[in-house]
A and B are shown apart, each in its own frame.
Chain A
């Protein structure tokens, strides 16, 4: 795979031609290398979720080309190249934790033993082995989100798309989950595209931050986060971290002030 995601001249217009037309995205160009951890940040309504859905072929672009894992986005979806995680865990409440994690594998027709082995391994990875026969409502928000991550990783997709995955969590849980996802990222080598509203989160977690501006959504700035890996609590207290924080904050202030 030479590029994980290539977005070329992409535009997205909702309800084109009608009175409630929305120009959600315009002239988006973005190349994401395999193994990158890329964050999208920008004011509400600037099209971050829309961009993620275009990558996932959950929406079709109004113009331009989306390539995922060197294939058209549609083919990449059929080949299950990516896993998706939303802000809400979106677990199926009628399925136990283990069965939720197994769902994509069921759809892919994997054998029962393989499904169970994968689910065990994934729940181990997110530290929820003991809860595998619980139902979603018996778990806290943070635990549910871990299950959602385990489910998205269960079929070993090459790309993970995460839309504000920690947006509903408290600050402490959030920081712990950031460390966990970084861990998973370095262990699995998965390319991650991550939407967030939190500047410290974007800076701590990513190798590159894309700052977007609204109406219509465009890429305003791309900031490399060349902080050393692996990142830990010391990273958050380093001077470089503060410099990057300031850089992203100023880029954002530029687009909000428009």
Chain B
């Protein structure tokens, strides 16, 4: 057992867990943040994607010890109160989700994709970048539309700052 201290969605957290605990289970089972999902056991589906210190990471592939001292953001932590993150809003506005199970991971991964590519994000690059996130429902058509829409909103917002 170890004591793990980290920041989750801006709040300091300290939990006593087995060393072999995965970050995704810490979030889901110990902190009740069930928006982060588990869809596989081989780091392929991306349903578990969260941000560690601002970068998208598959939380099913991170032991809690590796996350010690980091700052984690989950799907529950990206909206600003009632105001959705532009990526969340774009997924809703473009019907970028159906069953919603892949969605938190898609949104978290996509925010990072837009962060890295900014205005240079094209459909081709986006489709390559989404390789680590599997959706069985949407055929990706509207996910691609959503992320490109959000990229426009996010870069416009940045430019305005």
| A and B bind | no
